[in-house]
Amino acid sequence: MKALNTIFSALVLGGALAVSGVSMAQEEPARDAASLSELLGLVKQGQAQEARENAERERRFSADKANQAKALEQAKAERSRQEQLSTTLEAKFEENELLVAAKQEQLKERLGFTDRAVRSPDRCSG
């Protein structure tokens, strides 16, 4: 890995020197390094800037990952709460169905309707 970095640095230096020579030959104002030590300084500055940017990206990624884990836990807790509520409501619904059936039967009795009275042909044909 270190050898690869050394080769890469040499290529960067060579390319920068070539560009620097072309720029100077064209007499254009350029930000090219005046010497190898200045070029090395520019490369190190670039690497330092990239390292800072990478560190910031990693920090944001870690924060996002923590936020996502927290959101996932909240969603799981909410799902569990909703499932419990559903179970409670289903039991209440069944209880209410029985109550409605009992109240309907009670209403029929108060109004004088019974299964026997409704089925008896004598009472219906008056």
Question: pLDDT by residue (tens digit) across 9-66?
Answer: 666 666 655 555 544 444 433 456 678 888 888 999 999 999 999 999 999 999 998 8
DSSP 8-state assignment for residue 28: -
66, with CB counted inside 10 A (0-12, 13-18, 19+), is exposed
Per-residue pLDDT, averaged over 89-103, amounts to: 97
Q: Is residue 60 part of a domain?
A: yes
9 in any annotated domain: no
Examine residue 101 and state whether it is found in any structural domain, yes or no.
yes
Q: Is the pTM of this model over 0.85?
A: no
Total tally of structural domains belonging to the chain: 1
- Tokens found for residue 3: 């050898």
Provide the pLDDT confidence category of residue 121 given band limits of 50, 70 and 90. Answer: low
Question: How confident is the model at residue 69, as a pLDDT?
Answer: 92
117: containing domain: 33-124
